[in-house]
Amino acid sequence: MKLLIVNGPNLNLLGIREKHIYGDRDYDALCACIRAGAEKLGCEVELFQSNHEGAIVDRIQQAYFDGTEGIVINPAAYTHTSVAILDALKAVQLPAAEVHLTDVTHREPFRQISYAGMACEAHFIGLGFEGYVKAMEWLVGHHKS
């Protein structure tokens, strides 16, 4: 199964940004964790990170044409603002799982809405890096069923 993992703004600064919230492991460590999880599942995985909303929309659109069979997305701050990312996910009609490292449900009021989440069938919130692995497992199970 071919999976696309999309990470939004500032996730490239993991290990630097607000360590008391996001921990001290960096983005490379996250990528290694995702690659290891994908290998165990026998999945082909592509990792994409951007700080730009339009670039994320472009990459999601590309997924429709490049044989991607499932999307794991942590849109980061765009979660709470981006109708464009929601629309892109709806447009490509691929199974999608939303991930957040932190438990956004117990954070600030402005984090309580998730636009992208409205196009995702599964949600892995507050599980840290493990959330990405669980999301990939869910997509593989969904694919088989």
Contacts with ligand DQA by CB under 6 A lie at 10, 74, 76-77, 79, 100-102, 104, 111
Q: 100 catalytic, yes or no?
A: yes
DSSP strand E in the chain: where? 2-7, 44-49, 70-74, 96-100, 122-125
CB 115 within 8 Å of CB 81 = yes
* Packing angle, helices 130-144 and 27-41, rounded to 10: 30
Catalytic residue, candidates 64, 80, 100, 106: 100
- We find the least distance from the C-beta atom of residue 84 to ligand DQA, in angstroms, to be 16
Closest distance of CB 144 from ligand DQA, Å: 27
Catalytic residue among 22, 78, 115, 132: 22
Q: Which is nearer to ligand DQA, 10 or 25 (CB)?
A: 10
CA distances from 122 to 14, 63, 134, 136, 137 (A): 24, 19, 10, 10, 11
Residue 1 or 77: the one with the smaller Cβ distance to ligand DQA is 77
Question: At closest approach, how far in Å is the CB of 64 from ligand DQA?
Answer: 24
The dihedral region occupied by 143, where left means phi > 0, alpha psi between -120 and 50, and beta the remainder, is: alpha
Min separation Cβ 20 and ligand DQA, Å: 13
Q: Which is nearer to ligand DQA, 42 or 109 (CB)?
A: 109
Which residues are the active-site residues? 22, 100
